[in-house]
Amino acid sequence: MSRERVRFMYLFVMFDLPVGTKAERKAASQFRTFLKKDGYDMMQFSVYSRICRGQNAVEKHIKRLKSIVPTNGGIRVLQITDKQYARMLILAGKQKKHEKTGAEQLVLL
């Protein structure tokens, strides 16, 4: 019985949403709340990331994002491998206590 190697992928969501009106603030807040409930961690105020187990999970989460995006503003999604994520450098500031990078990252599903 052969086992396929599962490739973990990171999904980054970067956004710039308008907050000039009450409705825009509500839409932006709902979008951030959705990200948190869907397992994303806030890396910076408008940059969230999550780990996905394989390409199918990435596609599932992108589909979920498409269903919730606000009408106005800009939202970008970037997909990288766990190996690429491990090469991330922190050039300023400190690593957050809950933030895992490189070999420290271990996910049990």
Confidence grade of residue 4 (pLDDT, cut at 50, 70, 90): low
Model pLDDT, residue 99: 62
Greater model confidence, 82 or 97 = 82
Q: What is the pLDDT of residues 84-96, one digit of tens each?
A: 998 988 887 777 6
Question: In terms of Cα–Cα distance, which of 45, 43, 41, 46 is closest to 75?
Answer: 46
Domains of the chain: 8-92 (3.30.70.240)
Q: What is the pLDDT of residues 6-16, one digit of tens each?
A: 789 999 999 99
Q: What is the pLDDT of residues 19-50, one digit of tens each?
A: 999 999 999 999 999 999 999 999 999 999 99
Neighbours of 98 (CB within 10 A): 7
Q: What are phi and psi of 79, to 5 degrees?
A: -115, 130
Burial class for 105, CB neighbours closer than 10 Å (0-12, 13-18, 19+): middle
> What is the largest distance, in Å, between two alpha-carbon atoms of the chain?
58
